[in-house]
Chains A and B, each alone.
Chain A
C-alpha cells in the first residue's frame, strides 16, 4: 500500500514539474495569426518570390483608403487633411492622394538627369540626322497644347528627352481627380494610397498604422457624420484576420468549456469530479502548445482554435476512467487499469499514428496541428492513467449511470438490425461521392484565408477605383549585385519593349527606368558629343527647320554638364515619388538582389505568356524568370492539397498496420475499420450534398473522425466480446463532449476552423452509431 502511495506522489510531482515547465515555455512563446502557416516550408524559386511579396514586398506595405458617404468636395477636403496629418507621421513612407506634393522634386530629378535616364540617348540621336529628327518632333509638339510647357524647355532640351521621360512615367491608368485629389470613376469616393514603413507581416505595426489613419480621419475638420472611412490592403487583412481569429478562438473556447462542463456536471453531479476531469485536458492543452512552440518557434492562432476543439476529445479519457471504474476503491481502479486501459491506450496509439503523418506535411499549419494533437492526447491519456487515479478522493464516486447504460445496452442489441439500412445508406453516400467527384475539392488558395468575402470585395472595388489591378505577371531578375540585376533588367526591358510595340503587352515597369545601371549611364554619357562637335552638328541639323541654332546654347551647356555629372545612385532618388517605385521593384536580400518587372496586359485581353516566354528564352539571359503569380499560388495550394491527401491516406494505412500488428487478425481489423470508413464516407457525402467543397482542414477533420472513432470501434470489438452498460454510457458521454467541442467550431467565421467543426461533429456521431451497428454480436 505504502508503495502505491509513494508511486502516486512521484507521479504527481513529475506531473507538476512538467506543467510548470510547459508554462514557462508558453510564456516565452510567440503567437502568430498571419497566413504563413498555410504557405509552404520549402518553396520553389517562384513560390519564394510570391512569399516574399506576401511578407514584405511593397504590395504588403500598401494600405488603400477610400472616403465615401458625403459629397465629392467634402471627400477631397478630408483626403487632403488626412494626407497632411499622415505625412508628418514617420510610420508612413508615403501618402499619395493625387496632390502634386512630390511633383516638383520628381520633375527636377527627371530634368536634371535626363541625359542619364532617357532611353533615347544614343550616339545616333546626337548625329546630325538624329538631332534633326528629334528637334523636328519637338517643334511639332510646340504646336500642340503641350507646347505651352515644351516651349520653355526647347532651348535646353530640343531633343525632347524630358517629354520622353514624362510619357514613360505617366503610362498606366491613374484615377480621376476632384480638387486635385484622386477619386473613383463615379466620383463617389476619394482615394488614398498609403505606404507604411513596416512590412505587411508586422501585424502590430500595421494595426498602429491603421489606427493612425482612423485617428487622422476622426479628427479631420471637414468630417461630416455621413462620411465613412474604408481601408484595405494586405496589412489591413492581417490585422482583421488576427482580430477575427483572436475573438473567435477565445469565444469558442469559452463556449465549448462551458458546454462541456455543464454536460459533465449533469453526468457526474460532482464538482470535484468535474475539476479532476479537466486536469488531463488542461495538461494536454498546455503540453500541446508547449510542444508546438518548441517545434516551430511560434504557435499559430488556428492551432489554438483547434486546441479548444480537442478539449472535447481529451476529456474522454477521464470520462472513461470515472464512469467505467464502478466502485472507487483501489482494487477497482486497478481493475480498470487492467481491463480498459489497454483499449484506451490502443485508441491513443491509433490517433498518434493517424496524426503523425501530418507532421511530415510541408505545410507548417498542418504540421502544427499534428504535433499539437499528438502531444495533447499523449499527455491527456498519460495524466488520466498515472496521475488522476492518485488524485481521486477516497470516497470519490460519480452518479450511477447504470440506468442509462442499460437503456443503451438494449438499443445496441437492436442496432445490428440496422445493418442493411446502413449498407444502403453507405451505397447512397458512395454514389453521391462519385457524382460529386470533380467538384469535391476546393483548390483555390483563398479558401483558406480568414478574410471575409465582404473584405475581399471591398479590396477588389478599391483596387479597381485606383486603377491598380493585381500584379499577376512579373519578370523576375535575380543576381549577385544591384548592378548586375539592373543590367539584366535593361536587357529584359529591350525584349519587353518589342512585345509592347507588337501589342502583346500594354506596358511594363522596370527599376532600371528610374535608376539605370552604371554601365548604361556611362554608355549614355559617352553618346553625348563635346560642346564644339555638338555646336557644329546642331548648325547642320537646324537646316530646313524653322529655328535658329543660336537658340540652343543652353542645350550645349546642359549636355556638357551631363557628360561629366556624377552617376545616379540609390540616394539620388530620395524625396521623389520614384524612390517608392525603385524600393518596390529592386529588392536586396541577404546575399542577392532581385529586380521585378511587372507586366501590364492590354485592355480586355490576357497576356500571351507563350510569346513572353519565348522572347525571354531567345534572349539567353541568365537569372531571368517569368512568373504568373496566380498560377503559382494556385499550384502552391493544390500541391499541398494533394500532399495532404497522400498524408491522410498514409495515416490511415499506418492505423491499419498498427491494428494488424496488435490483433494479428485481418478480420478483426476489418471489423474495426468498417464503421470508421463508413463514417468518413457518409460525412464526406453529407458535406458534398450541402455544397461544402473540401479544403485541407476537412481532411484533417476526417483524420480526427478516424482517430476518435477508433476508440468506439475498439470498445465495441473487444476480444472478450463483452461490453458493459457503463462502458456504453461512458462512450455516449465521451462522444457528446467531442461533438460539443467540435460542433462549436462549426459556427466559427474562420473558414479553416469551421471546416474542421462541420466534419468532426457529425463524423464522430456517425462513427459511434456505425460502430454499434457493425459491432460483432456482443454480449451486453
Chain B
C-alpha cells in the first residue's frame, strides 16, 4: 500500500517539476509559485487514503511514579477511522470511528485456575467530551489533511521542509488550553513519524511512528 502511495507521490512530483519548468520558461516572474507551505502539506497528507504503522509511545504522567511505555500498531483509513492497537505492556485497543471512541482494555486476573484475561470495554461519544474530541481532532485532522478543521481549534505553525517538517498546534480555546499546551506533529512528506503532546500540567507524551511497508 505504502509502496503504491510512494510511487504515485513521486510520479506526481515529477509531473509537478515538469509543470514548474514549463512555468519558468513561460512566465519567469512566477518562478516563486512552488513554495512549500502548510496548504501544500495538507494536500499531500490528504492523498493518503489509508496507512498502517508501528508506534512506540512514552508517557510521563506526574501522578504516576514511572513513565508508561507502550508499543503497537496504528491503522488509519481516511477520513475518520483510526485504530491504535497496543501489544505492550498490555493488549488494548482504541478504535475511533467518526464520533465514537471505543476503548478495550484487557486485564490479567490471577485466579486459582490460572491466569485469565478479561477485557473491559469503554465507549465514549466524543461529542460528550469536547476536550478529548479537540485533542483527537489534532491527530485525525492532520492525518486527513483537513486544514479547515484544524484551524477551527488550533493556531498552526509549520517549521522545516517537505522532507522533515514539524507542525505545531496550539489550542485557541481557553478550556482546551487549560489541558493541552501544545501538540507537535513531525513527518517527512505525507508520512507522520512523531507526535509530541505537552499538557498544561506538565505531563507529556511522545509517540514515535514508523510506517509499515508492504512486503
A-B interaction: yes
Q: Which residues of A contact B (CB under 8 A)?
A: 98, 100, 103, 129, 133, 136-137, 139-149, 151, 154-155, 163, 166-167, 170-171, 174, 176-177, 180, 546-548, 551
A145 and B132 in contact (CB under 8 A), knowing A547-B63, A548-B65? yes
Q: Is B1 an interface residue (CB 8 A)?
A: no
Bound-state CA distance A177–B126 (Å) is 10
Bound-state CA distance A171–B123 (Å) is 7
Q: Is B78 an interface residue (CB 8 A)?
A: no
Closest partner residue, chain A, to B98 (CB atom):
A176
A142 touches B127 (CB 8 A): no
Bound-state CA distance A149–B134 (Å) is 13
A148 touches B65 (CB 8 A): no
Q: Which residues of the other chain, B, contact A548 by a CB distance below 8 angstroms?
A: 65
B98 touches A133 (CB 8 A): no
Q: Which of A133, A141, A149 contacts B109 (CB 8 A)?
A: A133
| Contact string against A for B residues 95-119, beta-carbon threshold 8 Å, 1 for contact and 0 otherwise | 0001101010101011000000000
B70 touches A143 (CB 8 A): yes
Shortest beta-carbon distance from B17 to chain A in Å: 39
Q: Which residues of the other chain, B, contact A103 by a CB distance below 8 angstroms?
A: 128
Q: Is B158 an interface residue (CB 8 A)?
A: no
Q: Which residues of the other chain, B, contact A151 by a CB distance below 8 angstroms?
A: 61, 63, 203
Of residues 57 through 85 on chain B, the ones whose CB sits less than 8 Å from some CB of chain A are 57, 59, 61, 63-66, 68, 70
Bound-state CA distance A546–B60 (Å) is 11
Shortest beta-carbon distance from A355 to chain B in Å: 58
Closest partner residue, chain A, to B66 (CB atom):
A546
Q: Is B54 an interface residue (CB 8 A)?
A: no
A180 touches B68 (CB 8 A): no
Closest partner residue, chain B, to A155 (CB atom):
B63
B123 touches A137 (CB 8 A): no
B132 touches A149 (CB 8 A): yes
Q: Which residues of the other chain, B, contact A167 by a CB distance below 8 angstroms?
A: 121-124
Q: Is B131 an interface residue (CB 8 A)?
A: yes
Bound-state CA distance A646–B68 (Å) is 76
Bound-state CA distance A166–B124 (Å) is 8
Q: Which residues of the other chain, A, contact B98 by a CB distance below 8 angstroms?
A: 176
Bound-state CA distance A104–B175 (Å) is 15
A170 and B125 in contact (CB under 8 A), knowing A151-B203, A154-B63, A548-B65? yes
A146 touches B132 (CB 8 A): yes
Q: Is B6 an interface residue (CB 8 A)?
A: no
Q: Which of A129, A154, A174 contacts B125 (CB 8 A)?
A: A174
Q: Which of B64, B101, B122, B132 contacts A163 (CB 8 A)?
A: B122
Q: Which residues of B contact A (CB under 8 A)?
A: 57, 59, 61, 63-66, 68, 70, 90, 92, 94, 98-99, 101, 103, 105, 107, 109-110, 120-125, 127-129, 131-132, 135-136, 179-180, 199, 203
Shortest beta-carbon distance from A500 to chain B in Å: 11
B65 touches A547 (CB 8 A): yes
Bound-state CA distance A547–B62 (Å) is 10
Closest partner residue, chain B, to A171 (CB atom):
B123
A139 and B107 in contact (CB under 8 A), knowing A154-B63, A176-B98? no
B61 touches A170 (CB 8 A): no
Shortest beta-carbon distance from A402 to chain B in Å: 83
A145 touches B136 (CB 8 A): yes
B68 touches A546 (CB 8 A): yes
Shortest beta-carbon distance from A501 to chain B in Å: 11
Cβ-closest 10 pairs across A and B? A546-B64, A546-B66, A167-B122, A546-B65, A177-B127, A143-B68, A140-B105, A144-B103, A145-B132, A148-B132
A551 touches B63 (CB 8 A): yes
B103 touches A98 (CB 8 A): no
B99 touches A176 (CB 8 A): yes
Shortest beta-carbon distance from A368 to chain B in Å: 49
B99 touches A177 (CB 8 A): yes
Bound-state CA distance A713–B64 (Å) is 98
Q: Which of B57, B64, B110 contacts A139 (CB 8 A)?
A: B64
User: What total of A-B pairs shows CB separation below 8 Å?
Assistant: 87
Closest partner residue, chain B, to A176 (CB atom):
B99
B68 touches A142 (CB 8 A): yes
Bound-state CA distance A407–B125 (Å) is 82
Q: Which residues of the other chain, B, contact A180 by a CB distance below 8 angstroms?
A: 127
Bound-state CA distance A136–B90 (Å) is 11
B61 touches A146 (CB 8 A): no
Q: Can you spell out 9 A-B residue pairs with CB atoms less than 8 angstroms apart?
A: A98-B127, A136-B107, A137-B120, A139-B68, A140-B105, A148-B180, A149-B131, A546-B66, A547-B65
B94 touches A144 (CB 8 A): yes
Interface residues of B, dominant DSSP:
strand
A141 and B103 in contact (CB under 8 A), knowing A163-B122, A171-B123? yes
Q: Which residues of the other chain, B, contact A145 by a CB distance below 8 angstroms?
A: 94, 101, 132, 135-136
Q: Which residues of the other chain, B, contact A146 by a CB distance below 8 angstroms?
A: 101, 103, 122, 124, 129, 132
B59 touches A143 (CB 8 A): yes
Q: Which residues of the other chain, A, contact B179 by a CB distance below 8 angstroms?
A: 148
Q: Which residues of the other chain, A, contact B131 by a CB distance below 8 angstroms?
A: 148-149
Shortest beta-carbon distance from A255 to chain B in Å: 54
Bound-state CA distance A155–B70 (Å) is 23
Q: Which residues of the other chain, A, contact B99 by a CB distance below 8 angstroms?
A: 176-177
Bound-state CA distance A614–B59 (Å) is 49
Bound-state CA distance A100–B94 (Å) is 25
Closest partner residue, chain A, to B122 (CB atom):
A167
Bound-state CA distance A146–B64 (Å) is 16
Q: Which residues of the other chain, B, contact A137 by a CB distance below 8 angstroms?
A: 105, 107, 120
Known pairs A139-B68, A546-B66, A547-B64. 17 more at Cβ < 8 A? A100-B128, A143-B61, A143-B68, A144-B92, A144-B94, A144-B103, A145-B136, A146-B122, A148-B131, A148-B132, A149-B131, A151-B61, A167-B121, A170-B123, A170-B124, A177-B127, A551-B63
Shortest beta-carbon distance from A131 to chain B in Å: 13
Q: Which residues of the other chain, A, contact B90 by a CB distance below 8 angstroms?
A: 140
Q: Which residues of the other chain, B, contact A140 by a CB distance below 8 angstroms?
A: 90, 92, 105, 107
Shortest beta-carbon distance from A759 to chain B in Å: 53
Shortest beta-carbon distance from A110 to chain B in Å: 12
Instruction: Pick the most buried of B90, B94, B128: most chain A CB atoms within 10 A of its CB.
Output: B128
Q: Which residues of the other chain, B, contact A176 by a CB distance below 8 angstroms?
A: 98-99
Bound-state CA distance A133–B136 (Å) is 28
Shortest beta-carbon distance from A120 to chain B in Å: 10
Bound-state CA distance A327–B129 (Å) is 92
Closest partner residue, chain A, to B134 (CB atom):
A148
Bound-state CA distance A650–B63 (Å) is 83
Shortest beta-carbon distance from B87 to chain A in Å: 13
Q: Which residues of the other chain, A, contact B103 by a CB distance below 8 angstroms?
A: 141, 144, 146
Closest partner residue, chain A, to B68 (CB atom):
A143
Instruction: Pick the most buried of B70, B98, B124: most chain A CB atoms within 10 A of its CB.
Output: B124
Shortest beta-carbon distance from B101 to chain A in Å: 7
Q: Which residues of the other chain, B, contact A170 by a CB distance below 8 angstroms?
A: 123-125, 128
Shortest beta-carbon distance from A559 to chain B in Å: 19
Closest partner residue, chain B, to A182 (CB atom):
B127
Bound-state CA distance A100–B130 (Å) is 10
Bound-state CA distance A151–B197 (Å) is 15
Shortest beta-carbon distance from B130 to chain A in Å: 8
Bound-state CA distance A151–B110 (Å) is 26
Bound-state CA distance A546–B66 (Å) is 6
Shortest beta-carbon distance from B202 to chain A in Å: 12
B129 touches A149 (CB 8 A): yes
Bound-state CA distance A137–B118 (Å) is 11
Bound-state CA distance A518–B101 (Å) is 34
Q: Which residues of the other chain, A, contact B109 by a CB distance below 8 angstroms?
A: 133
Q: Which residues of the other chain, B, contact A171 by a CB distance below 8 angstroms?
A: 123
B105 touches A141 (CB 8 A): yes
Bound-state CA distance A147–B121 (Å) is 15
Closest partner residue, chain A, to B99 (CB atom):
A176
Bound-state CA distance A145–B195 (Å) is 13
Bound-state CA distance A59–B110 (Å) is 46
Bound-state CA distance A140–B57 (Å) is 13
Bound-state CA distance A251–B54 (Å) is 74
Q: Which residues of the other chain, A, contact B135 by a CB distance below 8 angstroms?
A: 145, 148
Q: Which residues of the other chain, B, contact A100 by a CB distance below 8 angstroms?
A: 128
B64 touches A142 (CB 8 A): yes
